[in-house]
Amino acid sequence: MDDKTLVALLILLVFLLLLSAFFAGSETALMALNRYRLRHLAKSGHRGAKLAEKLLERPDRLIGMILLGNIAVHSASTAIATIITLELYGSAWIAATTGVLTVFILIFGEIAPKTLSALHPEKVAIPSAYIYTTLQWIVYPVVYVVNVLSNGVLRMFGVSPEDAAAHSLSSEELRSVVAEAGAMIPERHQRMLLSILDLEKATVEDIMIPRNEIVGIDISEPWEKIREVIVASSHTRLPVFDGSIDDLKGIVHLRKVLRLTVQDNLALDTLMTLVRDPYYIPEGTPLNQQLLNFQDQKRRIGFVVDEYGDIQGLVTLEDILEEVVGEFTSDPATRVKNVYLDADGSVLVHGSVTIRSLNRSLNWKLPTGGPKTLNGLVMEQMQELPRPGARLVIGGYQVEITDIRANAVKSARIRPIAVTAS
């Protein structure tokens, strides 16, 4: 063997080592790609991203092509290294050459390129997609036969390669993605996105105004009393009922009422012509579904009814939106109605306040798996009607009953145990 041939073989061996590095690195890069970022780039018109996304639709074919190339490269490298060793040193050095070649392939053809590709998958994978897209047409017949055989074995174990593109993020996985986004998503936006995901975990009972706190127009009252309610109301829409909320007539928009008031045409009969039929919401409806229902029905207010048709409370579109964007006030003492902060760190809470609103506004962790209101939670824990002054501990918070009325907890003072202990 002349010197030119020997040099050519050495150059070919180096080239094969580079090919081994390319196959190993590109495989790691393609498999480590962020599929959602890749999809975004593809939709933005990035040609390399489109090719990579197309290749990853069938990972069995891609892996088959890469392994076929890698095996061919390693086999050729071993053969060339053996020829060079026989020519220069004889057969006694073949084992040593094989060991040295294995180390070179392991370091420069596997570990180093795979590590680099794992750290910078996008920079390696997208350029590689151009090469693999061309290469797949050249070796397609061989890859097809190999894949048919390997996929047949996989199907014997209940695995289908066609399922590769069917995987999607669960809501909990999506929560992790949002929570770990870091500086890429502002903290306020993170909270909003997580709140949207949490809507499916809450129902209308978690945020409704209880029936005993519903403020409305009682047409059985004298007309002067009705006028006072209308003038003093801070709401834009009021329920209209006759004697009791169970005899609900509908909803009236006060903007229309004020127009009649200005024209001095407001009377009970003209008021009733402005009343719109009520909208009812079955109890147990998830908040994410009710948000869509409000949109479909073009409503902003609804009444929660139980399985017997009895009204349990009132829910507004604003209530659901506050679950996403947070309360519309910044002072913790006024975020939730009937919640008052004291200088000693304790909080005086009305019994009808919902546990969910307390947790959200004060960053507490009272249990939410059972009763929806503080009154219900205390009654469940004590299993009897408590007396004023009674104390109990619920989920790391000391609750002191301050007032009992009409067989219910009217108010209670709550102190986080950690604050009390300090």
Query: Which domains are present in the chain?
Result: 3-166 (no CATH), 203-325 (3.10.580.10), 332-421 (3.30.465.10)
Residue 255 corresponds to which amino acid?
R
Give the integer Cα–Cα distance in Å for 120 and 354: 49
Each of the 422 residues of the chain gets a pLDDT tens digit; together they read 567 788 888 898 889 889 999 999 999 999 888 887 888 888 888 998 899 988 888 887 888 888 888 888 888 988 888 888 887 777 777 888 888 888 888 898 889 999 999 999 999 999 999 999 888 888 878 877 877 787 777 777 776 665 554 556 677 777 777 777 766 777 778 878 888 888 888 899 888 888 888 889 999 999 888 888 888 888 889 999 999 999 999 999 988 887 787 777 788 888 888 999 999 999 999 999 999 999 999 999 999 999 999 999 999 998 898 888 876 554 444 445 678 888 888 899 988 888 888 887 788 888 887 888 888 899 999 888 888 999 999 988 999 999 998 888 999 999 988 544 44
For 187-195, which contacts have Cβ atoms below 8 Å and span 24 or more sequence positions?
Answer: 191/326, 192/324, 192/325, 192/326, 195/323, 195/324, 195/325, 195/326
Q: Is 49 helix (H, G, I), strand (E, B) or coil?
A: helix
pLDDT for 399: 92
> What is the phi/psi pair of residue 33, to 5°?
-60, 140
Give the integer Cα–Cα distance in Å for 68 and 62: 10
Give the integer Cα–Cα distance in Å for 233 and 225: 12
Q: Which residues pair with 82 in a beta bridge?
A: none
Beta strand 217-218 pairing with 237-242? parallel
Asked if residue 205 lies in contact with residue 372, where contact means CB atoms within 8 angstroms, the answer is yes
Give the integer Cα–Cα distance in Å for 193 and 184: 13
Give the integer Cα–Cα distance in Å for 289 and 267: 38
Give the integer Cα–Cα distance in Å for 239 and 278: 8
Beta strand 280-282 pairing with 301-305? parallel
